[in-house]
Each structure stands twice: as C-alpha cells, then as structure tokens.
C-alpha cells in the first residue's frame, strides 16, 4: 500500500521531469562600440508558459523589446524573447541575471559581460545640419540640408550608420525636394539613414589646403505641431579601415551604386583591423507657431506658401459620360513638390456634376511647377462648366490667408450616343434589371413647412390607431352581434327579447282592440313558443310571474270579441294597460 | 372689451406672421447656402450661419419647439461643419418625436463623422442581441404591435361564435407579443433608451480623471466635438459623465451643450 502511494505521488514529478526546463540568455556580440545596437535573446526550452523578465535591472543599456514567441527548440517546446539594446556608456558592462517566470516559478539567466568601446572622433570628420529657417508656422516648409565632410577617404568607411532625427520625429512630415538626386545619377550615393535608404550627392570641397569628401542630402520638413522643438543631433558612426597606399598615388574611389555606404549596420570588416569613427551635428532648436484662425478659408487644407493655379480642359464639347481631361498646373510655390490638389471627388461642386475616379495619379513636378492630370466625366447634359478649383493657402510673408483658384471652364455636354448595358439586346433574351440599392450616406432634407412652428404631437396617430382601434372594433363587434350571441347563448331569453322588440314596434299599428289583441297574443306566443291565435291563457298561466294582470287583459279581449262593442276611450286605456303589463312581464321574465 | 380682444388678436396674428416670415427666411438662406456650396464654400458657410441664427431665434427667443425646427437647425450646423451642435439639435428633435426615422438617419450619419470612436460596450451588445426587436424602426414595431393587437381582439371576438382550438395559447402568444412591442414602443417614446444628456461642442477637450485640471487625463487623447454622454454627477464646473461606450470621465461644463 505504501509503495502504491509513493508511486502515485512520484508519477506527476516523473511526467514533469520528462520536459527539462532551461533558461538561457545570450547577446549577438560581446564587444562593440558605443552607439552600436545589439540583440539580446532570452531563451527558455521545455515549456511555453513563460513570463518576460523585468528589464528595469538592466541599467546601463537602453532596452527595447522586439519580439516574443513560442518556438520549437530541438523538437522541444521553447520560448524566445528578443530585445534590442544600446549601451549608455563605454567600458566593461554587465547585463545582470534576469528573472524569468517559468511555469509559475522564478528562474534566472546567467550574467553577460560585454565590452563597450568608445568610438574615435576625427577633427576632419564633421556632420552638419543646416535649416533654412529657425522659426516657422505649422505646415510651413523648411529646407534641411545634411552635410557630411571628411578628410578621410569615404571609400575607406564600412558598416555606416547615420541617424537623422527628422526622419523619425513625430513633429514633421518629410518630403524630398523636386531636384533631389536620383539613384542613377553620376554622383549619387545610397546611404543607410535611420533604417531607411536615402539618395545623397557625393562631392568635394577644399577647406584651406585640405581636400574634403562631402556627402549631402536635402529634405523638406513640414512641421505638424507647434511649440519649441529640440531636435537631437544627427550622427555618423562607421568602421574605418585605413586604405593601402597605391603606388600610382590615385585614390581608389568606387563611385558605382551601391557603394561602400550601403552597408548593413552590423557588418564587420572581416580579416582587417579597423577603427570606429563617430561624428555628430549640433542639437537644433526650432520654434513652430500656430496658424492664425482669423480669415482661415473653410476648405483650407494646411498648405503654407503662396501659389497660383491654372487649369485647361479638353475637349470643350463632350457627350454625357465621356471623359474630359483636366490639366491643372500649380505654380509659384517655393517648394513645388509640396502643394497638393484637393480631392475633387469630395467637393460638392464636382461630385454632383461629374463622375471622378476615386484613385487619381499624384502630381508631378515639371520646371518648378506641379502638374496634375484629372479625368472627369460629366453626368448630365445640363452641366455647363467645370467649376473653380480652389487651393487655399497661408502666406507666411504677409501672415494672411489667400486662395489660388482656377477660372471656371465652359463645357458643352451633349446627350450620350453610346448604348448602355440596359439598352443592349442580350443574347439570352432576359432584360437587364437595375437593382436599386439605398444609399445610407448623407443626411435627409430640410422641412420647409410652416408646420415647424406648431407644437408636435408626442404620440403619432399611427400608434394611437394601433393601440385603440382593435379594442374599439371589438366593442363595435360585440354591439352588432349582441342578439346573435344571445340567441346562441340563451335561445329562450333571445326569443323573449325579440318578442318584446316586435311588440313595441307593432304597437303603433294597433288601432282597435282586435289588432291590440293580436299584438299581445303574438308577443305571448313568441315568448313561450306557442301559436299566436291558438293558445289559451291556461296554457301560459303557470309560466307567468304576473298572471293576474295579463289574465284581466285576456278577459277583456274575450269579452270585447263577443260583445263587439268598443269605444275609443276604453281602447286607449286598454292599450296603456297592455303596454304596462307586457313591459312589467318582460322585465320580470328576464329574471326568471 | 371688444377693442381689447381685437387688439390682442391682431397682435398675435402679426407676431405669428413675423415668425412665419422668419422661418421662411431661414429656409431660404439654407437653400441659398446649399446652392453656394457647389461654387463658393465661404459664402455657403456664411448663409448656413445666418440660417442658424434665424432658426435659433425662433427656438430660443420665440419659444418654438418642434422636431422639424430642430432638424433644420441640426442640418444647418452639420453643413457648416459643427458636428457637435448638429447632434445636439437632432437629439432635441428626437426628444420631441422619438423614433423619427429621418432624424435617426441624420443622427446616425453625423455620429459616424465624429472623430472619437466609441465602440459599443459588451453589456450593450448583449442587451441589443436579447431585445433585438427594439432596434427595429418605430414604424415597424407599431405595425407589429397593431397586427398582434388586432389578432388578439379578433380571437376574443371570434370566440363568442366559434370554438377555436388552442384559443388560450393563441391569445397569450398575441398578448405576449403585444406586451413586448408595447413595452419597446413605450421605452422609445419615453426616451428611456436614449440616455444622452449632452454633447461635447468644443472642438477638443481633455477629459480628466477628477473634477479639476490637476487630475491626469482620463484618456491618452482628447475628446472631440460631437461625442455624446450621460451625466452621472456634477461638481461646480465639472461633470462626471459616461460616454456611449461605457467609459467614465470628468469634463468641464463650458465645453458641453446639454440636450434639455
């Protein structure tokens, strides 16, 4: 029994022990220069139940988590957490043991020792960033020029990394100037800058007696936020291998693209001794002002800088639905790449009268102007012009808003002669139907009625009808069918009711005793289901609640029948008495 | 006495004629603005603003209150680019005529233009799924109610003449559906399902975690014009509000416009 308990207790442990859990951390490099980023991998094998370590113990490095995923390590379950690290200082640094929660238990990685070397600086290696202005409005283009100048031959640099903070700064949109170098140009060179590739221009400069190699690129910055912006320095970090001196004394420059500069950041210079060089520009300060709200056009889209716009259209006479080519030229802006054409398809003036493709080609810069080509299709024959195209702008010189606009272009639209799909005689003989689909966009029309000045009913008549009409109809139905229902429910009572009704209606026709007798006898016969002229009082005597009064009337009838004597006065009193007795009898019989 | 009555009647008639003329003027300005929108957006906006002033005069100064007037005002605000006040006016129109399909359509469209995206909370989703008929249009619910109300009373009527098999079952089913639809209609008409008390009408406002600027923002980004809320609490110039997605925050009163 004890053995059994022991086996039972050890069984989960044995099963667990099959998957041995290990935690390990390693870096991509052990020795590197300050400014170089490297990767730290925290690996766990044997389980996927892992919680990432707290990295606040890693004080000497800037840490950024890159990824975290479950993996298969040698057919075992595993987990890798990947970080990107950047040393904050040089010297011998340590990544301390990291606590990783594995299956709820805390496990530790080993310490990692790293050597961080300080890169060299060189007086002749300089980075400069020049801004066209230090104060601007939100949206106002600023030209930023990056210049790297070096006494050292540039072809001797490898593993280049340039950081240019404008490219990653949230406060700027960055554009290429219209005259930027192309990758195929003779002096162009590809640069790895802030994880992107930039085409720069290679050149030479003479400073005193020293020949300098230069690399320049320009960017247009459009500020997006106002305030005082401090821009971090642009930096240059690269490995330098001193070139071998050639016997003919010529430089071994290799201008073809891609050049030495288009290197991977981590690329090492294999088999050669090298030095790491670092250069940085000054920190820059920019004051960005908000645009004034006064006089701002309603359709202002943020363009800063004066410009002009003109348009031509072809053809001037067109069938409805046929294309009209619109050529729009934006001229006079200091940076022609910047002005954008408003979305014509989103302007009421255009989308109500023209069909405009949602995707339109971007403008292209030609001789300091920006050209936009648009295709419009007039929808109807009553379209008589291509409306004015407006480009509102803010002029930073005068600090006022202006509007560049084209002139309206006259257009003659003739009826379409083309056959539409709905006119076509389809081979299968079926008529093509236009399936109408409700457009849920837009808002519904205004009310022009003066009823808007009346107080509104809180509950709609439709609802009142829905609530009250069915029960009212029911009541009406009950009233109409009251007699039929009584006949079904209580035929005797119904017979009496009908007899009394008949009695009352016939009374007016009773002019003598004989006719009155007939009416009374008829009532009694109908009430008791007897024959009108063939029943005697004895037959009904036992069924009557008030027999004496009726008996008297029957006696009067019998007496008058035989005496044949009558007077108007007697008849009148007899009639009154008969009505009283029958009414009373009817009332009493209801309760029987 | 007669003279006084005559004077009173003439004065009232003159005032009414004046108001009618003002309404016609506002409507004309609105139409002008709509036409100008196709060629001159600046002029169009000016006309919309003038139309708004006239509508607003009838509402605020003359005390008129009708769904049509509020809808027109809302439309003018929408076209002039003020989503917040457009929503305020549509909500006011709905208070007067709950379930008005035109107003609901406009409100839905304008809500879609509002910058702040407030996804429906899980509770709301569950409630909406369970009480699915409540999202049907008012007209549709009235028709259903009328139909089953008619069936109910017809069954009761027919029962006097004929034995209807499963009569009780049919009567209670009809009654049940009538009650469901009736309750839903009642909730809509009383406005219980529209808990919106106000709308943010300032272009941008920072919602706070407490009733003062000293508190941290409640959200990582500011709230924008057109975002609706219901009031939970009020402290001096601050309101504790619940947004349509169920999130709660404090907002300064001067940034808001109330429906009532």
Query: Can you give the three-state secondary structure of A91-108, one letter per residue?
Result: EEEEECCCEEEECCEEEE
DSSP assignment of A84-152 equals EEEESS-EEEEE---EEEETTEEEEPPPEEEEEEPPB--TTEEEEEEES-SEEETT--EEEEEEEEESS
Q: Please tell me the total count of domains within chain B.
A: 3
**B32-56 in b/e burial notation, b at 16+ Cβ within 10 A?**
bbbebbbebbeebbbbbebbbebbb
Could you read off the pLDDT of B192-249 as tens digits, one per residue?
A: 888 899 999 998 899 999 998 889 889 888 899 999 999 999 998 999 999 988 889 9
Interface test with B, best of A456, A476, A480 (most B CBs within 10 A): A456
Q: Does B18 touch chain A (CB under 8 A)?
A: no
**A471 and B24: CB-CB below 8 Å?**
no
**A298 and B142: CB-CB below 8 Å?**
no
The whole-number pLDDT of residue A265 equals: 38
- Chain A residue numbers with beta carbons less than 8 Å from the beta carbon of B39 are 349, 387-388
Helix (H) or strand (E) holding B47: helix B41-60
Number of other residues whose CB lies within 10 A of the CB of residue A313: 19
Q: Does A481 touch chain B (CB under 8 A)?
A: yes
User: Average pLDDT, stretch A204-213?
Assistant: 84
DSSP assignment of A379-419 equals -STT--EEPPPEEEEEETTTTEEEEEEPPPEE-EEEPP-SP
Could you read off the pLDDT of A124-162 as tens digits, one per residue?
A: 889 999 999 999 999 999 999 999 998 888 877 877 888
- Min mean pLDDT across A38-52, A429-443, A566-580 is at A429-443
Q: At A364, is the pLDDT very low, low, confident or very high (cuts 50, 70, 90)?
A: confident
DSSP assignment of B57-86 equals HHHHTS----HHHHHHHHHHHHHTT-HHHH
Q: Examine the domain organization and report whether B104 and B20 are in the same domain.
A: yes
Supply the DSSP symbol for B254: G
More confident residue, A371 or A496: A371
The CATH number given to whatever domain includes residue B202 is 2.30.30.40
Q: Examine the domain organization and report whether B211 and B244 are in the same domain.
A: yes
Q: Examine the domain organization and report whether B86 and B164 are in the same domain.
A: no
How wide is the angle at C-alpha B76 spanned by C-alphas B72 and B77, nearest 5°?
Answer: 115
In whole angstroms, give the CA distance from residue A247 to residue A154. 19
In whole angstroms, give the CA distance from residue A256 to residue A166. 28
**B142 and A460: CB-CB below 8 Å?**
yes
The whole-number pLDDT of residue A423 equals: 56
Tokens of A582: 């029958």
Q: At B160, is the pLDDT very low, low, confident or very high (cuts 50, 70, 90)?
A: confident
The whole-number pLDDT of residue A327 equals: 93
Q: Does B109 touch chain A (CB under 8 A)?
A: yes
User: Average pLDDT, stretch A61-88?
Assistant: 85
Supply the DSSP symbol for B212: S
Q: At A451, is the pLDDT very low, low, confident or very high (cuts 50, 70, 90)?
A: confident
Most confident of A102-116, A156-170, A175-189, B172-186: B172-186
The whole-number pLDDT of residue B10 equals: 54
In whole angstroms, give the CA distance from residue A280 to residue A148. 9
Report CA-CA distances (Å) from A454 to A10, A451, A583, B10, B53: 87, 5, 57, 19, 19
Q: Examine the domain organization and report whether B106 and B24 are in the same domain.
A: yes
Across chain B, what does the average pLDDT equal? 88
Residue A373's closest CA among A324, A338, A335?
A: A324
pLDDT > 90 in chain B, percent:
55
**B66 and A451: CB-CB below 8 Å?**
yes
In whole angstroms, give the CA distance from residue A443 to residue B78. 9
Q: How far is A467 from chain B (nearest CA, A)?
A: 7
Q: Examine the domain organization and report whether B132 and B33 are in the same domain.
A: no
Q: Does A387 touch chain B (CB under 8 A)?
A: yes
Tokens of A207: 């400073």
User: Average pLDDT, stretch B118-125?
Assistant: 82
- Chain A residue numbers with beta carbons less than 8 Å from the beta carbon of B157 are 474, 477-478
Q: How far is B178 from chain A (nearest CA, A)?
A: 10
CA atoms within 13 A on the CB side of A79: 18
Q: Which residue of A has its CA nearest to B82?
A: A298
The whole-number pLDDT of residue A131 equals: 92
The whole-number pLDDT of residue B256 equals: 94
The whole-number pLDDT of residue A434 equals: 64
Q: Do the beta carbons of residue A365 and residue A383 sit within 8 Å?
A: no
Segments forming the whole domain that contains residue B168: 122-190
- Min mean pLDDT across A348-352, A474-478, B177-181 is at A348-352
Q: Do the beta carbons of residue A27 and residue A38 sit within 8 Å?
A: yes
- Chain A residue numbers with beta carbons less than 8 Å from the beta carbon of B44 are 298
The whole-number pLDDT of residue A263 equals: 47
Supply the DSSP symbol for B217: B
The whole-number pLDDT of residue A290 equals: 92
Q: Identify the CATH homologous superfamily for domain A18-117.
A: Immunoglobulins (2.60.40.10)
The whole-number pLDDT of residue B11 equals: 59
Q: Do the beta carbons of residue A578 and residue A547 sit within 8 Å?
A: no
In whole angstroms, give the CA distance from residue A418 to residue A494. 80
Pairing status of strand A157-163 against strand A235-240: antiparallel
The whole-number pLDDT of residue B47 equals: 94
Report CA-CA distances (Å) from B137 to A458, B97, B105, B134: 17, 13, 11, 8
pLDDT exceeds 80 at position A17: no
The whole-number pLDDT of residue B170 equals: 94
Q: Write the residue in A352, A440, A471 that is nearest to B38 by C-beta.
A: A352
**B97 and A446: CB-CB below 8 Å?**
no
Q: How far is B207 from chain A (nearest CA, A)?
A: 21
Chains A and B: how many Cβ contacts under 8 Å?
A: 118
- Min mean pLDDT across A319-323, A391-395, B54-58, B170-174 is at A319-323
The whole-number pLDDT of residue A272 equals: 64
Q: Does A450 touch chain B (CB under 8 A)?
A: yes
The whole-number pLDDT of residue A2 equals: 53
Q: Examine the domain organization and report whether B90 and B166 are in the same domain.
A: no
Task: Give the ipTM.
Answer: 0.71
Helices (H), A218-355: 348-351
User: Average pLDDT, stretch B112-131?
Assistant: 87
User: Average pLDDT, stretch A96-122?
Assistant: 87
Could you read off the pLDDT of A531-551 as tens digits, one per residue?
A: 777 777 777 777 777 677 777
pLDDT > 70 in chain B, percent:
93
Tokens of B224: 């924008």
pLDDT exceeds 60 at position A12: no
The whole-number pLDDT of residue A266 equals: 40
Interface test with A, best of B29, B32, B69, B83 (most A CBs within 10 A): B69
User: Average pLDDT, stretch A470-498?
Assistant: 87
> How is domain A308-414 classified at the CATH fold level?
Immunoglobulin-like (2.60.40)
Q: Examine the domain organization and report whether B84 and B25 are in the same domain.
A: yes
Q: Does A135 touch chain B (CB under 8 A)?
A: no
pLDDT > 90 in chain A, percent:
18
Question: What is the dihedral angle through the alpha carbons of A455, A459, A463, A468, rounded to the nearest 10 degrees?
Answer: -110
Omega before A258 within 30 of 0, i.e. cis: yes
In whole angstroms, give the CA distance from residue A110 to residue A108. 7
Question: Among all chains, which residue has been given the structure tokens 């007077």?
Answer: A567
Residue A340's closest CA among A400, A295, A393?
A: A393
User: Average pLDDT, stretch A58-76?
Assistant: 83
- Chain B residue numbers with beta carbons less than 8 Å from the beta carbon of A446 are 27, 30, 71-72, 75
**A443 and B105: CB-CB below 8 Å?**
yes
**B142 and A440: CB-CB below 8 Å?**
no
Could you read off the pLDDT of A466-477 as tens digits, one per residue?
A: 889 999 999 999
**A467 and B109: CB-CB below 8 Å?**
no
Across chain A, what does the average pLDDT equal? 81
**B189 and A459: CB-CB below 8 Å?**
yes
pLDDT exceeds 70 at position A523: yes
Q: Does A439 touch chain B (CB under 8 A)?
A: no
Q: How far is A460 from chain B (nearest CA, A)?
A: 8
Q: Examine the domain organization and report whether B11 and B30 are in the same domain.
A: yes
Q: Do the beta carbons of residue B239 and residue B228 sit within 8 Å?
A: no
The whole-angstrom distance between residue B81's C-alpha and the CA centroid of its chain comes to 19
Q: Does B153 touch chain A (CB under 8 A)?
A: yes
pLDDT exceeds 50 at position A264: no
């Amino acid at each position: 029994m004890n053995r059994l308990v022991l086996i039972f207790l050890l069984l989960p442990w044995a099963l667990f022990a099959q998957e041995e859990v290990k935690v390990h951390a390693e870096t991509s490099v052990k020795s590197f220069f300050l400014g170089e980023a490297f990767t730290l991998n925290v690996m766990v094998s044997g389980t996927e139940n892992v919680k990432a370590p707290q990295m606040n113990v890693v004080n000497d490095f800037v840490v950024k988590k890159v990824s975290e995923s479950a993996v298969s390590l040698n057919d075992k379950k595993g987990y890798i957490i990947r970080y990107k690290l950047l040393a904050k200082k040089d010297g011998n640094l340590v990544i301390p043991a990291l606590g990783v929660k594995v299956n709820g238990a805390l496990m530790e990685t080993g310490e990692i020792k790293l050597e961080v070397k300080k890169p060299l600086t060189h007086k002749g290696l300089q980075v400069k960033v020049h801004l066209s202005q230090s104060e601007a409005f939100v949206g106002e283009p600023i030209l930023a020029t990056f210049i790297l100048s070096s006494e050292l031959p540039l072809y001797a640099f490898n593993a280049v990394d340039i950081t240019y903070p404008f490219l990653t700064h949230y406060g700027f949109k960055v554009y290429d100037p219209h005259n930027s170098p192309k990758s195929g140009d003779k002096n162009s060179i590809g640069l790895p800058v802030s994880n992107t590739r930039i085409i720069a221009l290679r050149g030479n400069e003479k400073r005193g007696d020293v020949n300098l190699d230069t690399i320049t690129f320009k960017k247009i910055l459009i500020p997006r936020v106002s305030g005082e912006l401090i821009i971090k320095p642009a930096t240059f970090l690269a490995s330098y291998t001193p070139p071998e001196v050639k016997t003919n004394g010529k430089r071994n420059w290799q201008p073809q693209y891609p050049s030495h500069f288009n290197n991977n950041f981590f690329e090492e210079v294999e088999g050669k001794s090298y030095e790491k060089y670092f250069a940085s520009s000054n920190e820059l300060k920019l004051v960005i002002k908000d645009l004034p709200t006064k006089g701002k056009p309603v359709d202002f889209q943020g363009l800063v800088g004066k410009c002009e716009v003109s348009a031509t259209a072809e053809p001037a006479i067109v069938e409805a639905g046929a294309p009209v080519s619109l050529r729009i030229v934006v001229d006079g802006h200091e940076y022609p790449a910047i002005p954008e054409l408003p979305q014509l398809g989103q302007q009421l003036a255009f989308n109500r009268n023209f069909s405009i493709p949602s995707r339109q080609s971007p403008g292209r810069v030609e001789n300091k102007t920006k050209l936009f080509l648009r295709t419009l299709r007039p929808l109807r024959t009553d379209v008589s012009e291509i409306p004015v195209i407006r480009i509102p702008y803010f002029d930073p010189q005068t600090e006022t808003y202006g509007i560049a606009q084209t002139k309206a272009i006259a257009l003659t639209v003739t009826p379409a002669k083309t056959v539409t799909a709905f006119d076509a005689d389809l081979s299968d003989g079926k008529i093509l139907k236009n399936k109408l689909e409700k457009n849920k966009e837009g808002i519904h029309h205004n009310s022009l009625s003066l009823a808007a000045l009346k107080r509104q009913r809180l509950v709609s008549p439709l609802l009142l009808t829905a609530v009250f009409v069915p029960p009212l109809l029911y009541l009406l139905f009950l009233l109409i069918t009251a007699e039929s229902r009584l006949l079904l429910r209580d035929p005797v009572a119904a017979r009496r009711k009908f007899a009394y009704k008949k009695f009352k209606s016939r009374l007016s026709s009773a002019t003598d005793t004989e006719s009155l007798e007939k009416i009374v006898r008829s009532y009694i016969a109908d009430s008791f289901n007897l024959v009108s002229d063939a029943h005697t009082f004895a037959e009904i005597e036992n069924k009557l609640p008030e027999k004496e009064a009726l008996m008297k009337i029957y006696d009067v009838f019998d007496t008058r029948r035989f005496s044949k004597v009558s007077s108007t006065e007697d008849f009148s009193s007899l009639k009154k008495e008969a009505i009283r007795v029958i009414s009373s009898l009817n009332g009493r019989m209801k309760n029987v | 006495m007669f003279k006084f009555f005559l004077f009173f009647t003439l004065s009232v008639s003159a005032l009414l004629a004046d108001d009618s003329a003002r309404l016609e003027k506002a409507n004309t300005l609105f139409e002008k603005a709509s036409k100008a929108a196709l060629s001159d957006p600046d002029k169009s906006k000016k006309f919309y603003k003038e139309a708004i002033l006239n509508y607003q005069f009838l509402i605020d100064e003359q005390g008129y209150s009708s769904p049509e007037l509020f809808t027109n005002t809302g439309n003018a605000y929408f076209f002039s680019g003020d989503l917040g006040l457009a929503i305020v006016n549509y909500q006011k129109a709905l208070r007067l005529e709950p379930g008005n399909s035109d107003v609901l359509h406009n409100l839905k469209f304008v809500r879609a233009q509002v910058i702040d995206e407030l996804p429906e909370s899980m509770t709301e989703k569950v409630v909406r799924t369970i009480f699915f008929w409540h999202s049907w249009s008012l007209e549709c619910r009235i028709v259903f109610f009328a139909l089953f109300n008619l069936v109910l009373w017809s069954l009761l009527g027919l029962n006097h003449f004929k034995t209807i098999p499963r009569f009780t079952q049919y009567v209670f089913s009809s009654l049940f559906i009538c009650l469901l639809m009736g309750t839903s209609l009642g909730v809509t008409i009383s406005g219980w399902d529209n808990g919106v008390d106000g709308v943010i009408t300032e272009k941008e406002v920072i919602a706070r975690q407490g009733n003062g600027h000293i508190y941290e923002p409640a959200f990582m980004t500011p709230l924008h014009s057109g975002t609706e809320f219901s009031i939970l609490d009020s402290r001096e110039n601050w309101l504790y509000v619940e947004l349509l997605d169920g999130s709660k925050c404090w907002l300064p009163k001067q940034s808001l416009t109330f429906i009532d």
